[in-house]
Chains A and B, each alone.
Chain A
Amino acid sequence: MATPDLLDPKSAAHNCKPRLSFSIQPVVLYTPEDECETRTTVMRWKTVSAIFFMVVLYLIIGATVFRALEQPYESSQKLAILAEKLDFLAMHACVNSSELEDLVKQVVSAVRAGVNPTGNAFNQTSLWDISSSFFFAGTVITTIGFGNISPHTEGGRIFCIIYALLGIPLFGFLLAGVGDQLGTIFGKGIAKVEKMIVKWKVSQTKIRVISTLIFILFGCLIFVALPVIIFKHIEGWSTLESIYFVVITLTTIGFGDFVAGEKGGSDNPEFLNYYKPVVWFWILVGLAYFAAVLSMIGDWFRVISKKTKEEVGEFRAHAAEWTANVSAEFKETRRRLSVDIHDKFQRAASIKRRLSSELGINQEMTPGKRSLSTTLCEDREAYPNLTLSLSPATGSLARNGSLYLNGLSPDYADRRECTFIESLN
C-alpha cells in the first residue's frame, strides 16, 4: 500500500481527504516475513550445526568410556574361551582342530538362524510358532527389533520390509492415541492434586513443576519399577539386568541380549501363554509413556524457543509499524505545512497587490476605495479558510475565488502555485 505523493501538484489539487489515522495495516516498508525467514534461517543453521557438534562430542565421549569399560572384560572372555577350546582338544585327542572349527562355525550360524543345537531335537519349541511370530511382528512394528529371531529366507525378508513400511506408521498412530488417553488420565489426577495444593497458596509455576514431577515419578513407578521386580522374579535376572532390559526396550533400542519370555519350554507353557501377551501390553503402554515424556520435554524446548522467537518477532513487527506510522505522519505534516506556507504566501502576495492597486486607485477616486475596502474585508474573512487544510476542497475554492476577485487569472495562479511548490520541493 503506497501512499500517493502528496506533494505532487495534480494530486494535491485533486486529492480528497488526506489520511490522518492509520489502520493496523501500516505502510509496509519491507515484508516482515522475509526478514523473519532469513533471520531464522541464519539462526537455525547455526543452532543446528552447534547441536550437531555437541552430538558428535557426546558420541566420542561415550565411545571412550565404553572402550575403557568393556575392552578388558572382552579380552578376558576371549582368553577363557580359547583356553576352553584347547582343553577340549587336549582332552579328546581324536578330534582335530579343523573339524572342531567347522562344527563351531555351523553351530554359530545355526544359532544365528535361531536354531538351538544344544539339547534334544524333539522337545524344543520352534522359534516360529504363532506366539513367537506374534512377538517378532510386534518387535518389528515397534521398531525395537530384538534380533534374537530374524527372518532368513528371501521371502521372509521382503515381507518384513513391506510389513514394517505399513506397520510402523500404524503403530505410530496407536501410540499417539494411547499417549493421549494416558495424558488425560494423568491430567485429571494432577488437576485434583493441583486443586489441593492451590489451597496452600503456591505460585502457578511451582504447581506446574510439582505436577510434572509427580507425573514422571508415578509413571516411573508403574512402568519401570514394577516390571523390574516382575522380571527379576520370573526371568531370574539381577536387578541391574532387569533395569537394563526395561530401559533398552522402552527406548526401542532393543539389543536382544536379554529378551523377556525367552526362557521357553523349561517352565510350563501355559504360564508362558499369559506371560508374553502381558509383556507385549506393557511394552505398548510403556512406550506410550516414554513417548509422552519425550514429547513433554520437546514441548518445553519448543515453548522456550517459541517464546523468545515470538518476543523478538513481536518487537520487530512493532518496530516496523512504528516506523511506518512515523514516516507517514511526517509526510502528512510536510504536506500540510507546504500547503499552509503556500497559502500564506499567496495571501501575502494578493494583499500586497491589492494594496498597491488600491493605493494607485486611491489617488483618483473615493467610492472605489470603499468598494475595495469591502472586498478587502471580504477577502480577509475568506482567508481564514485557507489555513484550514482539513478541507482543501473548500480551501482551494476560496483560494481560487479570492484570486479571481483579485482579477488574477486562475492560470497565472496555477503557474505560480507550481513554481512555489517546486521551490518548496
Chain B
Amino acid sequence: MHFVGRSWLLLTGFILFYVIYLLFGALVFSSIERPMEDRMRTELEVLKQEFLNLSCVSDAALERFLLKVLAANKYGVSVLRNASTTSNWDLASSMFFANTLVTTVGYGHTTPLSDTGKAFSILYALIGVPFTMLVLTACVQRIMFPLVLAPVGLLQRSGLEPRPATIVHFLLLLILVVMCFFVAPAAVFSAVELSWSFLDGIYFCFISLCTIGLGDFVPGTQPNQQYRSLYQVAVMGECSC
C-alpha cells in the first residue's frame, strides 16, 4: 500500500510540474507573440477600410466573399490568379500527405475534404501509425550497433576509459546529427524556398523531426515550383528519418 501511495504522490508531483511548465510556456509565448498579432490586426483593418473606401463594395458582400475564400484556403484551395494548376492531390502530394499521416507529423496544409476521405484517413492512420513506430524501433535497434557500440568499442580500444569514451562518442554523434538533419537541410531549404530564411529552415526541420508539424511552413507549396514532386519525395525521406 505504501508503495502504491508513493507512486501516486510521484505522479501528482509530475503532473503539477508539467502544469507549471505549460503555464510558463504560455506566459512567454503570450508576451512575445501578442504585440505582433495586435499590430497585424490593425494593419488588416486599415487595409480593409481602404479597400472599402475606394470601391463600391459593401461591407456585407466583402465579408461573405472573404469567408468563402478563407474556408477554401483552409483546405489548400487558393483563389489567387497565379495559383498553380497542379493539384494538391496528385500522386507525389498524396504520398507526402500519407507520409505525414503515418509519421504523425500532420502538417495540415492539405486535409481530406470529402467524408470518404476522412473515414479512409482514420482507418489508414490507425493501422499505419503503430506499424511505422514498430519499423522505426526496429531500425533504431539495428542502427544502434554500428552507430553506438562499435565506435565506443573502437574508442575504448584506442586507449580511452569507458566513461570518457562514451561521452566523446555522444558528443561526436550529436554534432553529426545536428549537421546532417538540421544545418544541411536548412541550407537547402533557404536556397530553394524563396521566402524562407535560414532560421525558418532550422525551425521547420526541428518541428518536423519532433513530429509536432505545426504546418506554418511546408516545403513545396509555393506556386509554380519546379520539380515539385521530386522535391516533396526528398523531404519525405528526410522526415521519415
Contact = CB atoms under 8 A, between A and B. Distances in A.
23 contacts: A55-B131, A62-B124, A70-B89, A77-B77, A80-B72, A97-B81, A103-B48, A110-B40, A113-B36, A117-B66, A118-B70, A128-B33, A129-B30, A130-B26, A131-B26, A145-B211, A147-B216, A153-B32, A164-B210, A170-B17, A184-B4, A252-B106, A253-B125
Contacts of A129: 30, 34
B170 interface: no
B5 interface: no
Interface of B: 4, 7-8, 10-11, 14-15, 17-18, 21-23, 25-30, 32-34, 36-38, 40-45, 47-48, 51, 54-57, 61, 63, 65-70, 72-81, 87-91, 94-95, 97-102, 104-108, 111-122, 124-126, 128-135, 137-139, 141-142, 145, 199-200, 202-203, 206-207, 210-216
A77 B113 contact: yes
**Residues of A contacting B: mostly:** helix
Contact of A113 (B40, B87, B107, B145): B40
Interface stretch (A171-179, A202-210, A267-275, A341-349): A171-179
Contact of B211 (A77, A143, A177): A143
A67 B101 contact: no
A181 B122 contact: no
B210 A147 contact: no
B34 to A, nearest CB: 4
Scoring A167, A251, A297 by chain B CB atoms within 10 A of each residue's CB, the highest score goes to A251
A298 B137 contact: yes
A36 interface: no
A154 interface: yes
Nearest to B79: A81
Interface stretch (A83-91, A398-406, A414-422): A83-91
B215 A128 contact: no
Given A62-B124, A251-B125, A253-B104, A301 B117 contact: no
Nearest to B28: A159
A248 B106 contact: yes
Given A256-B108, A294-B133, A94 B56 contact: yes
B37 A113 contact: yes
Interface of A: 37, 41, 44-45, 47-48, 51-52, 55, 58-60, 62-67, 69-71, 73-75, 77-78, 80-82, 84-85, 88, 91-95, 97, 99, 101, 103-108, 110-115, 117-119, 121, 124, 126-131, 133-134, 136-141, 143-147, 150-161, 163-164, 167-168, 170-171, 173-174, 177-178, 180-181, 184, 240-241, 243-244, 247-248, 251-257, 294, 297-298, 301
Nearest to A301: B134
B56 A67 contact: no
Given A92-B57, A95-B55, A255-B111, A140 B212 contact: yes
Given A251-B125, A254-B106, A82 B79 contact: yes
A58 B128 contact: yes
Given A147-B214, A152-B36, A178-B11, A67 B107 contact: no
A71 B213 contact: no
Given A69-B116, A145-B212, A147-B215, A44 B26 contact: no
Contacts of A160: 29, 203, 207
A38 to B, nearest CB: 11
Contacts of B126: 247, 251
A178 B13 CA distance: 12
A257 B70 contact: no
A37 B42 CA distance: 66
Contacts of B21: 141, 167, 170
A114 B37 contact: yes
Contacts of A144: 106, 212
A156 B94 contact: no
Contacts of A117: 44-45, 48, 66
Scoring A115, A131, A253 by chain B CB atoms within 10 A of each residue's CB, the highest score goes to A253
Contacts of B55: 92, 94-95, 99
**Residues of B contacting A: mostly:** helix
B65 to A, nearest CB: 5
Contacts of B68: 81, 84
Contact of A143 (B18, B67, B99, B104): B104
A157 B199 contact: yes
Given A74-B77, A253-B105, A257-B75, A115 B22 contact: no
Scoring B25, B42, B68, B101 by chain A CB atoms within 10 A of each residue's CB, the highest score goes to B25
Contacts of B133: 294, 298
A154 B199 contact: yes
B97 to A, nearest CB: 6
Contacts of B211: 143, 145, 252
A145 B106 contact: yes
Given A178-B11, A294-B133, A73 B114 contact: yes
Nearest to B47: A106
Nearest to B240: A55
Contacts of A154: 199
Contacts of A44: 138, 141-142
Contact of B128 (A62, A145, A294): A62
